[in-house]
Structure 1
Amino acid sequence: MNGILYIVATPIGNLEDITLRALRILKEVDVIAAEDTRHTRKLLSRYGISKKLVSYWGAREKSRAEAVISRLKEGQDVALVTDSGTPGISDPGEVVIRGAIDEGLNVVAVPGPSAIIAALSISGITSRDFVYPGFLPPKHNMRVKMLEELRLEHRTMVFYEAPHRLLDSLNDIYEVFGDRYCAVCHELTKLNEEVLRGILSVLIEELQQKVIAGEYVLVLEGKVVEGITVEEAIPEVWGLMKKGLRRKEAARMISQQYGLSQKALYDESLRREGSDEA
């Protein structure tokens, strides 16, 4: 019988932020596959867990992933962990997870701490609907290109950013999006946790006076759209169709941009094309 691959979320800072289920799984599995065995050993030591550790991350990621999958095929249960958060979510682990799924093995989630959700919950910005593009590109041109693609996004956006690029990225965000409301979340759940909230221009000025170090999560307000109706948005649906998009895809994009019904946009654009209004 094959073993089970458990995807175990671990604390993003405070070691007390681990679930009872995660601790039980870590105690019960045959082996723990870690991003960095030294880092994971500190967590295990905190809770008195002694378990065989293997690394799946590094220069030989593919062969190490294959070794983990071989263990599963031998009937061993494996807990997959990263240094913090959930494997595969802006963290290593995807190669192992994908490989296990491709082999038809049982993959089980053991959810827990998330910097994305933690930041959203304390940002003061709506979390009813949000997107997570992940880490911003390190190079200016690629970063601006990505931001331009999100310029009309009406949903809240969540980004990760490294300390040495924080100010450059915030300046790029300001140039593309204008002076929007943003929450800059620093070292979440750690001793030096800090959250700065306000419009971008003020945040940039404030951060220029600080020592920037540690991990950052940015929560950015989406585009505020006032008073646009389905009828007023139809020309934009047609505009995307002229660029080669199918009606369904064009309606979906405009519905996301303005918070309108995709079906209403689709039906109305079709109706007006068949009348003298087109």
Structure 2
Amino acid sequence: MIQIQKSFKDQADNDYGTLYLVGTPIGNLEDITYRAIRTLKEVQLIAAEDTRQTRKLLTHFEIATRLVSYHEHNKQASGSELIRLLIEGQSIALVSDAGLPAVSDPGADLVKDAVEAGIKVVPIPGANAALSALIISGLPTDRFMFTGFPPRDKKPLAEWLTRLSRQEGTLMMYESPHRLKKTLDAMLEHWGDRRIAMTRELTKRHEEAARGSISECLAFLEENPPLGEYCLIIEGAASGSGDAGDNGEIWWTTLELEEHVAHYENEGIDRKEAIKKAAQDRGLPKREVYNAVNR
């Protein structure tokens, strides 16, 4: 059954409150909107991912609204209580540490529960790190995909990269400084030397964007150790060898791995590079293709 929400009309069938998703600054406090400040002042409750971080924001803008905790580790108990308060008629603002709530954080679960309960969910737009990084990256912006945080462990990371290998749109993801090099090494192995923009400290005093190939960025990190949280913008799969033909079929799907590699060798490419290109086409680890064709 379809559910229609009229965000700025009273719900005739209930007296529920409204769940506001309020965008907050990602660094520079001047990036908050007038509407966000007004909403935070008018709601009965603010649910925050990190109350200590949010309290600094509220103090700066002299907002005295009651603050409660809602995060990954208490979302089940806290979420059900917030839904109960919304049903009773209280309006609540949900905020994350920075940027838009419900993007790579447990706020998405609260939104889902609110929608299922017939509660209005209203966005209060604001800054977003991924989109801010995208528009300064110099990479295509006509089609893009946000992928969140890459998996931490080697095998899940390899599988994740394989699934994304044929995405033609620009890829956007977050990564922590202590895992950055490992993730870039894995990208280079699975995707080849794509163009990338490494951005950090967006809107802050030390805002930085490092643009180049993955290998160039890895070399840069050897001289400039990672600092702060990163947003990575990576070009999508190249249109060419892996594209579908006129009949919609990818040209190499009927070939065995050895034939796929031989195709590139017949074009004058050396065997090592041919194996690399075949691996990229198929979204396979280069080592797996190498082992298969050199048995």
Instruction: Give the TM-score band, short-chain normalised.
Output: 0.7 to 0.9
SS in 1 for 2:30: coil
Q: Report the equivalent of 2:291.
A: none
1:25-40 superposed matches below 5 A: 25-40=39-54
Asked if residue 172 in structure 1 is aligned to residue 189 in structure 2, the reply is no
- Aligned equivalent of 1:125, options 139, 142, 146: 139
The residue type equivalent to 1:65 in the other structure is: G
Q: CA 1:215–1:74 in 2, change beyond 3 Å: closer, same or farther?
A: same
Q: Report the equivalent of 2:111.
A: 97
- Aligned equivalent of 1:196, options 210, 227, 241: 210
The residue type equivalent to 2:239 in the other structure is: V
Q: Report the equivalent of 2:289.
A: none
The residue type equivalent to 1:64 in the other structure is: S
1:48-67 superposed matches below 5 A: 48-67=62-81
| 2:243 and 2:250 in contact (8 A); partners too | no
Q: Report the equivalent of 1:110.
A: 124
**Root-mean-square deviation (Å):** 2.1
Please say which of residues 136-145 and 85-94 is displaced more in the overlay. Answer: 85-94
Following superposition, the deviation at residue 226 of structure 1 comes to: 4.0
Q: What is the TM-score normalised by the length of structure 2?
A: 0.77
The residue type equivalent to 2:230 in the other structure is: Y
Deviations 1:94-149 (A, max 9, x none): 22211111111111111111111100010000111011111100011111111111
Point out where structure 1 has 5 or more consecutive residues left out of the alignment.
241-257, 259-278
| 2:245 and 2:251 in contact (8 A); partners too | no
- Aligned equivalent of 1:72, options 79, 86, 103: 86
Point out where structure 2 has 5 or more consecutive residues left out of the alignment.
1-14, 255-280, 282-295
Following superposition, the deviation at residue 228 of structure 1 comes to: 8.7
Q: CA 1:228–1:148 in 2, change beyond 3 Å: closer, same or farther?
A: closer
Q: CA 1:136–1:233 in 2, change beyond 3 Å: closer, same or farther?
A: farther
SS in 2 for 1:235: coil
Deviations 1:21-72 (A, max 9, x none): 1111011111111111111110011111111111122533211111111111
Q: What is the TM-score normalised by the length of structure 1?
A: 0.81
Name the CA distance, whole Å, in 2 between partners of 1:194 and 1:171: 21
Name the CA distance, whole Å, in 1 between partners of 2:243 and 2:221: 39
Please say which of residues 105-114 and 224-233 is displaced more in the overlay. Answer: 224-233
- Aligned equivalent of 1:221, options 196, 214, 235: 235
Name the CA distance, whole Å, in 2 between partners of 1:228 and 1:93: 37
Asked if residue 140 in structure 1 is aligned to residue 154 in structure 2, the reply is yes
The residue type equivalent to 1:24 in the other structure is: R
- Aligned equivalent of 1:236, options 232, 250, 254: 250
Q: Report the equivalent of 1:161.
A: 175
Query: May I ask how many residue pairs the two structures share in their alignment?
Result: 241
- Aligned equivalent of 1:20, options 34, 38, 42: 34
